[in-house]
Amino acid sequence: MFPMSAWFDALRLGADVQSVVALRLMRIAAGGPRGATEARRMVAEKIAAIGEAQGAAFVALATGASPATAAKRAGSRIRRVVSANKKRLSR
């Protein structure tokens, strides 16, 4: 069973992801150069973030870490990107 803090972290990440999606959709829907830039940025960031997460998990597993540790390291990369996007888009 997961510790309660893991559940809260997952809930917080889910809420942050929903916020980022909503903020991005508003910017894209507004159109113009900012909307187009955001759409391109969104795709590029997703590709980079998944690559970083996979790399972190691979390194963890290759060095003998547990699957739970590998998942935690991959998740931390995703959380960092989501947090940065939420902060940037909330301005």
Q: Is the pLDDT of residue 14 over 80?
A: yes
Checking if the pLDDT of 18 tops 90, the result is: yes
Quote the percentage of the chain above a pLDDT of 70. 98
Residue pair 73/60 in contact (Cβ under 8 Å)? The answer is: yes
Query: What would the pLDDT profile of 23-65 be if each residue is shown by its tens digit?
Result: 999 999 999 999 999 999 999 999 999 999 999 999 999 999 9
Confidence of residue 2 (pLDDT cuts 50, 70, 90): low
Task: Report which residue type is found at 85.
Answer: N
pLDDT at residue number 1: 59
**Beta carbons of 77 and 86 less than 8 angstroms apart:** no
- Pair of tokens at residue 89: 């888009």
State both tokens at 59. 């390194």
Q: What is the DSSP letter of 56?
A: H
Distance from C-alpha of 4 to C-alpha of 62, rounded to nearest angstrom: 28
Nearest to 53 by CA among 75, 80, 68: 75
Output the pLDDT for position 5: 82
